[in-house]
Amino acid sequence: MAYAYLFKYIIIGDTGVGKSCLLLQFTDKRFQPVHDLTIGVEFGARMITIDGKQIKLQIWDTAGQESFRSITRSYYRGAAGALLVYDITRRDTFNHLTTWLEDARQHSNSNMVIMLIGNKSDLESRREVKKEEGEAFAREHGLIFMETSAKTASNVEEAFINTAKEIYEKIQEGVFDINNEANGIKIGPQHAATNSTLSGSQGGQQAGGGCC
Amino acid sequence: MNFFRGVMGGQPSGPQPTGGETVQRLCDRVASSTLLEDRRDAVRALKALSKKYRLEVGTQAMAHLIHILQTDRSDSEILGYALDTLYNIICNEEEEEQDMLASPSIPVSGKRRNLPVPEDNAQKQEEDLGVLFTEKFLKDPESVMLLLTLLEEFDFHVRWPGVKLLTALLKNQCSQVQGVILVSPMGVSRLMDLLADSREVIRNDGLLLLQQLSKGNAAIQKIVAFENAFERLLDIITEEGSSDGGIVVEDCLLLLLNLLKNNSSNQNFFKEGSYIQRMKPWFEVGDDNSGWSAQKVTNLHLMLQLVRVMVSPGNSPGASSSCQKSMYQCGLLQQLCTILMATGVPADILTETINTVSEVIRGSQINQDYFASVNAPSNPPRPAIVVLLMSMVNERQPFVLRCAVLYCFQCFLYKNQKGQGEIVATLLPSTIDANSISAGQLLCGGLFSADSLSNWCAAVALAHALQDNLTQKEQLLRVQLATSLGKPPVSLLQQCTNILSQGSKVQTRVGLLMLLCTWINNCPIAVTHFLHNQENVPFLTGQISENLGEDERLVQGLCALLLGICIYYNDNSLENYTKEKLKQLIEKRIGKENFVEKLGFVAKHELYSRAAQKPQPTFPSPEQMLFDHEFTKLVKELEGVITKAVHKSSEEEKKEEEVKKTLEQHDSIVTQYKDLIRDQDAQIQELKQQVSTLSLNNEQMQAQITQQQSQIQQHKDQYNLLKLKLGKDPQGLSSQGDGAQVNGLNTEEMSQLREEVEELRRQQTLLNTQLSDKDTLINTLKSGAVVVQTVEAGTESSANRELLSELEVLMSRVQSQGSEISQLQAERQELIRRAEATASAAPPSSGSSADATEVSDLESRLAAQTAETERLKEECRGLREGCAGLEQQLASAQSTVAVEQTEKAKLQQEVQESKKEQDDLLMLLADQDQKILSLKQKLKDLGESIDEDEEDDLDSRDQFDEDEDEEEDNDD
Ligand SMILES: Nc1nc2c(ncn2[C@@H]2O[C@H](COP(=O)(O)OP(=O)(O)OP(=O)(O)O)[C@@H](O)[C@H]2O)c(=O)[nH]1
Ligand SMILES: [Mg+2]
């Protein structure tokens, strides 16, 4: 229940790439074989542990359909992390990444961590986008990259957790302003008090980190 | 003001200009004036006229005002006037507007929105105008966008009227404005910033704006929630003093309700954000209750509603139950129960608290258990359930409160077998505690009291203690009631039917009939008990057949339902009232059609569908308290089957039975199949495992075989070497044959003897050579034999044995696999045969098609399994072939070994023989030596001198021979 940090995520990408399935697999460890078109956004949450700390992830799964684009844009600003998903069996979903990325960069805060995800890795026989292409795109745009399968759960945990790790590191580095909730980060209720004293000694902490 | 006067009253001589003309002149001024001040004055004047000449200003000035909003962005004053004017022409609520004008702060009255709106004509016209002008304003969506940007202006004179104008627009044309805001970038998010405004007026009006904005629009509700609305609103509520706070708290609560009602995504977010925990302190209302202001009552009411939204029976079961869990864990339920038992709580708050507790415990075992343990702080302490039931059967309590208690009791028993058992137990003879009032006593009291409402409530409450609980239905049959002194006790069931037949109020009879139907439904023993009373069936048939008035229709329908259950759940144990006899009775006394029509009265009743909607018992008036939600489910379930049962002839019934049986059989076959398949799955799994171990073994054996083959090759090589060496021996042996001769002893003989000695010496040399030759040969042979023996012992005896035993294991596994496979095949054949048999035997009823698909599903799975088995067999065959190959190889290896062994034996024998020969030769040699010596002696005796050298010569010759031998070896 009690958490050290709370991160807000959004999941974006073309319709049918498996965004809702990724969320469902992450929160409920289930797979949904039929496409249940998302209307607007749906909320999901789960607790994870990083570096021995409880971190609450609040995730907004957005609709990929063009008609919902204006609604889903409202969610960029307050998110600390974004999973940008394409479908490795549909090249068009990969081709649209640039548009998605532009949209995200334009509406989100500049520190938002973006994880590029090539989903449906279980469908190797129908693959249209090589893993190397995904890697190259991620490298070129400074994103983290991973291929996942919401069906077999392969790399699903990792995708969410690695994104959180990246955000966590950014916090340690002092990149994020954790007191501004608009960044999609919140300090846990009972940690808030201890953290204020911690922040006082943060200089010392950082010095310690620097010497290592 | 100068300008104003100039326009309005500056021309006293001419005719008074009409309002329209004035407005027109002002509009012209707004449009054409190049001076900001002129425009500002004109807009201010328009504002002043905007109420009196609403129509004129609205029709003529709107476009100009919007234009001002676009062009005069830098002057907040003119913007303020323009926005005010627009607000005046668009807003309908005269009163509210006046309120706001009178004092810029928010009114304190909690009743603001509760005032009934008078529906007179003037009002209607006003509203039409508002909608008309709103539409006009919305013609260009850009205007709304413009308004949104103006709201970012910090200046109070712009922001405040802007907020009010947008709120008014939303009130008049909600969905259209929502649509525009939704598509404008960050539209909703920007409006959320209003809640952070330090000026309370703006924050408070921002709340009203967000209320309108989020009305009925899930997408907006979600964005508002995403923008941390829950956090902000809960903070404001706390800051304002929670339930003791003013109307701002009320507005926050209303907005929260908007965001959460019927929005599962937001509810999930609310729960996951641990906001449920933050609701708990709201209900920490002290027992002193010094003041319950109207506002506090309103606030608490909304707070309770908020709790209910999270655990509403209409939510998905998973969502509700996790909220129920955290409400218990954070102590919110406990807090609510404290209010329940507190004194001085206003009745409507108490009622709503009971309803809330009901939904917090409904279907949640932990919460129900907790509720059962709550005691009222009375002396002696009484269970809360008992205290509540006392109110339910108390005529003096308010109707809504009694309904709430019934709801609470129902929710306590919902999916709570334990609770049901505890309630019924308080009625059983063995567990009755005479000293204290129990739930059972209260229910019985209510059931037979003179108050029909109590009768109904108690009957329904008792029915809920029996819902889906066969054990309790049977237990309740044991309950006996003491009647007037001297008379024998009567069973509860009997007493219910007695009262039924006494013709009490409709409400009472409906209640009792619902109780009886629930009781005997799905419980043949209870049916038998009911039928056992000779008066019951005639009473029911009488009720159903009579042609009674409108009022009695429901009772007739329920009687038909009760009789129907008696048929449907009849186990034919009473001779007079078998299924068949009851049906004949219906046909004779009532008529099938008539019976079915009467049965239909129940679900056709006007109050039925209302009760079917939701579990909470709510009735417009006490008289309309007739249907229970759970009971409507029962009716839905039974109406069809009873109609069928009554229409069916006994033959059909029999057939039906048969079909049912075959269906059951079918089911059991299907389950059998499933089991079989499961077994086969396991077997296949096992076989796969075996195959993999076998192939591993196979590999190992192959490796061993290659190893052995190389060893055999080595043997062969050694053997050839031996053969080669041995090949030379026979020659040596044959040349040895006639070496020794015996010489004479006379002088003449001397030379002869000498010659002979010479000859002997030569021969000896030769023999010596041969001997040493032999010796070396024997040595090599010996060492060779040892090698052969050790190698053979090492490989053949251990490795070969291992190989053999492994082969045996392999073989036996292959065999068992084979037998398993043939078993599987047989089973499969059997399955297919049965599947075909059942497929053809399956009755053409509705259920069979589902079964057929299941069977076909099974068949396809079988086919898959057959293929798998086939594959496994193939693999086994391959393995077997591999094994045969291995065996062959082994056999050939063995035969090679055997050949070698015989050859070795032969060799050894030869060695033995040559040894023996050698021994013989040695003996001969020794003899001859002896002879030579004796001859020498004779010669000496005869006076002949013998060269000493001769003996040395012999030795040196020996040595020479040995050297020669070595050279021979090297030549090999
Ligand atoms: N084989 C396979 N199918 C997947 C995988 N992930 C999703 N799917 C399927 O892809 C379809 C679409 O998945 P969704 O998660 O509903 O897609 P979405 O991205 O949420 O789509 P929108 O809500 O319209 O934006 C469904 O039929 C899923 O069963 C995966 O990893 N492997
Ligand atoms: Mg989706």
pLDDT digits (tens, 9 = 90+) for A128-147: 999 999 999 999 999 999 99
Range of the domain at A75: 3-189
Task: Give the closest ligand to the alpha carbon of residue A32.
Answer: 1
User: What ipTM was assigned to the predicted interfaces of this complex?
Assistant: 0.87
Exposed / middle / buried, residue B731 (Cβ in 10 Å: 0-12, 13-18, 19+): exposed
Residue B335 pLDDT > 90: yes
3-state SS, B147-183, equals HHHHCCCCCHHHHHHHHHHHHHHHHHCHHHHHHHHHH
Q: Within a domain: residue A211?
A: no
- pLDDT tier at B656 (50, 70, 90 boundaries)? confident
Residue bearing the CA closest to ligand 1, atom 1: A120
Confidence bin at B106 (pLDDT 50/70/90): very low
CA B765 to chain centre: 104
User: Does residue A194 lie in a domain region?
Assistant: no
Domain assignment present for residue A207? The answer is no
Closest listed residue to residue B2, CA positions, set B56, B53, B40, B57: B40
Of A118-132, B75-89, B687-701, which gets the smallest average pLDDT?
Answer: B687-701
Nearest to B304 by CA among B345, B273, B263, B364: B345
Establish if A195 belongs to a structural domain: no
Min CA distance, B223 vs chain A (Å)? 7
pLDDT digits (tens, 9 = 90+) for B796-812: 555 556 666 766 776 67
Cα B607 to Cα A180: distance, rounded to the nearest angstrom? 55
Report, as an integer, the average pLDDT of B51-57.
88
Dist CA B474 CA B479 (whole Å): 10
Domain count, chain A: 1
- CA dist B166 → B56, B77, B101, B159, B644 (Å): 21, 18, 17, 10, 61
C-alpha dist (Å) from residue B644 to A114, B554, B585, B909: 63, 21, 16, 104
Query: Which secondary-structure segment (H or E) carries B18?
Result: none
Q: Which of A10, A11, A14, A17 to mutate to test the pocket of ligand 1 (most atoms within 8 A of CB)?
A: A17
Q: What is the pLDDT of residue B807?
A: 65
Residue that wins the pLDDT comparison between B26 and A212? B26
Q: What Å distances lie between residue B731 and B208, B451, B922, B965, CA to CA?
A: 129, 138, 18, 15
Rg, Å, chain A Cα set: 17
pLDDT for B11 beyond 70: no
What span, in angstroms and rounded, lies between the C-alpha atoms of B360 and B325? Answer: 9
Q: What is the pLDDT of residues B366-412, one digit of tens each?
A: 999 999 999 998 888 899 999 999 999 999 999 999 999 999 999 99
Comparison of pLDDT for B970 and B912, the residue scoring more: B912
Q: Which of residues 171-190 of B touch A (CB under 8 A)?
A: 182-189
Percentage of chain B with pLDDT > 70? 81
CATH code for the domain of A48: 3.40.50.300
List residues bridging with A53 in a β-sheet.
Answer: A50
Look at residues A87, A94, A96, A100 and name the one whose alpha carbon lies nearest to residue A133.
A94
pLDDT of the residue at B841: 54
Which band of pLDDT confidence, cut at 50, 70 and 90, is reported for residue B948?
low
Q: pLDDT class for B746, splitting at 50, 70, 90?
A: low
pLDDT of residue B740: 39
What does pLDDT average to over chain B? Answer: 83
Q: Is residue A121 part of a domain?
A: yes
Q: Does the distance separating the beta carbons of A77 and B222 come in below 8 Å? A: no
Mean pLDDT, rounded, for B590-599: 92
pTM confidence score: 0.70
Q: What percent of chain B has pLDDT over 90?
A: 48
Q: Indicate whether B249 pLDDT > 90.
A: yes
Q: Lowest-pLDDT range, A161-165, A192-196, B200-204?
A: A192-196
Q: By C-alpha distance, which of A40, A44, A49 is closest to A28?
A: A44
Residues ≥6 apart with Cβ < 8 Å to B3: B38, B41, B42, B45
d(CA B340, CA B345): 8
Q: Do residues B380 and B329 touch, judged by C-beta distance below 8 A?
A: no
A21, A27, A126: which to mutate for ligand 1, most atoms within 8 A of CB? A21
Which residues touch B613 (CB under 8 Å, ≥6 apart)?
Answer: B629
Distance of CA B101 to the CA centre of its chain: 57
For residue B184, what is the enclosing H or E element? Answer: none
Q: Is position A209 within any domain?
A: no
What amino acid occupies position B493? L
- Per CB-CB distance under 8 Å, the chain B contacts of A47 are none
Lowest mean pLDDT among B295-304, B597-606, B709-718, B883-892: B883-892
A164 found inside a domain: yes
Q: List residues bridging with A9 in a β-sheet.
A: A59, A81
User: What pLDDT, on the 0 to 100 scale, is given for residue B676?
Assistant: 87
Given this model, what pLDDT does residue B967 score?
45
* pLDDT score of B954: 47
pLDDT at B1 over 50: no
What counts of helices (H) and strands (E) characterise chain A? 8, 7
DSSP character string of B539-596: HHHHHHHS---GGGHHHHHHHHHHHHHHHHT--S-SGGG-HHHHHHHIIIII-HHHHH
Cis peptide bond prior to B380, omega within 30° of 0: yes
Q: Of the ligands numbered here, which is closest to the C-alpha atom of A83?
A: 1
Q: For residue B219, which residues of chain A lie inside 8 Å, CB to CB?
A: 40-41, 71
Q: Mean pLDDT, to the nearest integer, of B876-889?
A: 77
d(CA B225, CA B219): 10
- Is A205 part of any domain? no
B676: three-class secondary structure by DSSP: helix
| Mean residue pLDDT across chain A | 88
Residue corresponding to tokens 């003041």: B291
Structure confidence at residue B939 (pLDDT): 79
pLDDT (tens digit, 9 = 90+) per residue, B196-235? Answer: 999 999 999 999 999 999 999 999 999 999 999 999 999 9
- Measured between CA atoms, the residue of chain A closest to residue B226 is A75
